[in-house]
Every structure is written in structure tokens, then in C-alpha cells.
Amino acid sequence: MSQIPAKGRPAEAILAALRERKAQDRDWRRGRLAVYFYWLDEDLERVQQQAYLAYWTENNLGQRAFPSLKSLEDEVIGMSLALLGGGQGAGGTFTSGGSESIFLAMMAARNRARARRGKMRPNIVLPDTAHLTFDRAAEALGLEVRRVPVGADLRADVAAMAARMDDDTVALVGSAPNYPFGTFDPIADLAALAARRGAWMHVDACVGGFLAPYVRRLGHDIPAFELSVPGVTSLSADIHKHGMAPKGASLLLVADAADREWHKFESRAWQRGPYAAYTTQGTRPGGAVAAAWAAMNHLGEEGYLRCARLIMEAKAIMMAGIAAIPGLGVLQPSDIGIFVWRATDPTLDIGKVAAALDAEGWLVGRQQEPDGIHLHLNPIHRSVAEEYVEAVSRAVAAARGGQNSRIGANERTY
């Protein structure tokens, strides 16, 4: 069992120990991971780090003490609302990540339905491709989860979701895009359904919020998903994903700022006096806000377009290259920087292919249904796109030759 040492260690010894431990981690700077990180270049990295250090210990709970943090947070929210269809009356909350943003949205949906409609046995209806964070939030909030299979196009089946709704349905969910396949649900149709039934409509754009608008500007067909879609109540978007900020920085945006009150906690039930918070956190790291603000201002629209272009170029190269390898196929459709590839030859064991890739140093994200390999690209993958295709070709040859059959070496990552 570890214990606090009796005597402190010198700073250099501590830093050397950290470097030694980190040497065992996967080297994301080489682009051999397609999960867990987002990186563009060293210039942005330095800006992120310096901005975070400028507020490394300030507590964003104390905005009376640190009004600069409030101004930074307000600007981050304002820039994001402008990007994602927020009107004059829209609002937002800065959170620690997509899980917290989604939790707050479901909390708000429950609380609004309880107050306005007296719903005490609430349920939420969502496609079965929606992130499992919704189930985790529902477990904590006392919500029944009704998952509905998606259609053959890997998008939410609006008619099937309507059939699962009842008078106790407090929220509908759509993804923009979903994580398993990278496809956009028909947000406009789901939002219209939610409006007719008086339900909260949440759009999970944690992955796509800061990427999809720029992919659309490059000429790709990206359906409307933003707050400006009639019937959309809230939208979650992670700045620490394709907003290219360090972790943890996310947003819960609402079309009507008054709806933030439904996820507010307020109490006077102790001796200290009134306490109020719009997040599940108390103490909030000021560095995360400062670094998000810095990343957005450093990149600007030009920088985000560059990121989108690099991602879509990498995807095109990888998809075409993999599809050309005998025995492999790319699952379609796929809308932005997420896609799945799999074996089309029944004699080819995709687990052995994954193990061969792992043996070469590529961290493999396994897809459960269908059995395949999942990629979530970010800008650095443009520099390794051709290299990855070559590695896949070698891995297929190794699998066919009976090499690298240690299936346990490849992870299922989500």
C-alpha cells in the first residue's frame, strides 16, 4: 500500500520519476492513437499550456474574487453560441466534460417535466447509438432509459422512437454525430417530434460541435443540428475534443437561457448561508476556462477550418486505402471524422488483424457491432494516413499467415 513519504523528495527526482513512468505510455505525438487525445501542433500546445498555467490555481467557483474568469467564461460561451446557432435569448454553462454536460441536460429535462407536468416516473427515449453516459445519468437521476434500434442507415429511426414515447417521456436524444458510426441523427425530425409531445430535445454534439460546422463549410453535406433547429432545447459540445482545448472543457448550451434554471442547485440548508451552482462541481479549475478561451482565440475560424480539412483528408486517404485491401471493407455511411472498418472475408479474423496492428504500436479501438476497428480522427492523423494504410495491409498479411494471434492485445475502447 502506498503511503505519503515521511520526508519529501526533491523536485527533480519527482519529475524524473514522472518521466520514467510516462515513458511506458503510448506516444500520441506519433499519431498512433485514434482515441483519447486531440492535437494540432506545438504552437497550439504552448498556448494551451501557458494559458492554463496563468490560472493554474484559481477557482472558477469564486468569480467574485476572480472576475477575469467570469469574463473569459462568458466569451467562450458567447463564441460557441454564435457558432452553434444560439439566438439572442440563448445561454450556456461551462462544464468539465461531455458526461457532465449530458447529466445536466437530463437533470433539467427531468426537473422541468416534474415542475410543469407533474411527471414522477420519467423516461427518456434515445437511439441505441447514443452514448452510454445517458444511461449513467439516468441511473443517478431516476430516469427510465428506452433505447431504440437505429435504421439501416445507422441513424435514429424517428417513427420507432415516437412509438416508444408515452405521457411520461421527458426527453428525446439525438447525436450529431453518434460515436459508434460517426453518423448524424435526423435532428430536425426528432426536434419536431419532441416539440409536438412537449419533451425536452437534447442534441449530443460532444464530438461534432466544434468540427461539423467547419466540415460543412468545406462543402461536405452536414445536416442541421444546431440550436437554431426548431424544437432543439439543449446541445452539448466538448471544447476539449475538436475545440482543441485541453481537458476538461465542455459546454451545455440551451436555446432559451431560462432553461439553465432547471439544472441549478440552490440551498440554504446549512449555517454558512445560500449556496447555488449550475454545475455538478463545486470547485472548478480556472485553467480549463483560460485554456479553452486561448485555444479558440489562437485558432480562429481559419485554424478550425484547417483542422477540419486535415481530418477529412486523412479520412479520405484511410478509407480508400483500406477499402482497396482484399478482404476489408469500410462501413457506410460515415459523416465526419469517425468510421469503422471490418473484414468482409469470413476467413479473415479481424481480432488477429487488430493484434498485428497493436504489435506495431498502433492502439486499436475495437468495435463490438459489427466486429471491426473504430477510428476517431484528429488533425495529426493526416501526417500518418498513408503509413496507417500500409500498416493495415501488413496486419492483414500477418493475420492470414497465422502471426500475431494474441487477441487479448487489442483493446475495446469507447
Residue pLDDT, tens place only, 318-338: 999 999 999 999 999 999 999
Q: Is residue 174 scored above 70 in pLDDT?
A: yes
Give residue 402's pLDDT. Answer: 74
Q: 155 near 124, Cβ under 8 Å?
A: no
For domain 301-409, give the fold. Aspartate Aminotransferase, domain 1 (3.90.1150)
Cα–Cα dist 226/254, whole Å: 10
Task: Name 146's bridge partners.
Answer: 125
Residue pLDDT, tens place only, 276-317: 899 999 888 899 999 999 999 999 999 999 999 999 999 999
Give residue 36's pLDDT. Answer: 84
Written as nine digits, the cell of 212 is: 461539423
Instruction: Work out the average pLDDT over 265-278.
Output: 90
Instruction: Work out the average pLDDT over 246-260.
Output: 96
Cα–Cα dist 412/368, whole Å: 8
Q: Is residue 412 scored above 60 in pLDDT?
A: no
Residue extents of the structural domains in the chain: 48-298, 301-409
- Residue 93 DSSP symbol: E
State the pLDDT confidence band at 118, using cuts at 50, 70 and 90: confident
What are the strands of the beta sheet with 250-254, ordered from one edge? 91-95, 250-254, 234-238, 200-204, 169-175, 123-127, 144-148
Q: 223 near 158, Cβ under 8 Å?
A: no
Instruction: Work out the average pLDDT over 234-245.
Output: 96
Cα–Cα dist 129/183, whole Å: 9
State the pLDDT confidence band at 44, using cuts at 50, 70 and 90: very high
Give residue 404's pLDDT. Answer: 52
Give residue 403's pLDDT. Answer: 61
CB atoms within 10 A of CB 196: 11
- b/e sequence 77-96, b meaning 16+ C-beta within 10 Å: bebbbebbbbeeebbbbbbb
Residue 396 amino acid letter? V
Q: Which of 345, 347, 310 is nearest to 328 (CA)?
A: 345
Q: CA Rg, the chain, in Å?
A: 23
Residue pLDDT, tens place only, 181-215: 999 999 999 999 999 999 999 999 999 999 999 99
In the numeric block, the cell 497465422 is attached to 402
Q: Is residue 62 scored above 80 in pLDDT?
A: no
Pick the range with the lowest mean pLDDT from 26-30, 182-186, 235-239.
Answer: 26-30
Q: Is residue 16 scored above 50 in pLDDT?
A: yes
Three-state DSSP at 130 gives coil
**What global pTM score does this model have?**
0.93
Instruction: Work out the average pLDDT over 38-45.
Output: 91
Give residue 391's pLDDT. Answer: 96
Instruction: Work out the average pLDDT over 102-115.
Output: 96
- The CATH number of the domain covering residues in 48-298: 3.40.640.10
Q: Is residue 33 scored above 90 in pLDDT?
A: no
CA angle 348, 346, 131 (to 5 degrees): 85
More confident position, 163 or 369: 163
Written as nine digits, the cell of 292 is: 479553452
Give residue 405's pLDDT. Answer: 47
Instruction: Work out the average pLDDT over 233-239.
Output: 98
Give residue 119's pLDDT. Answer: 82
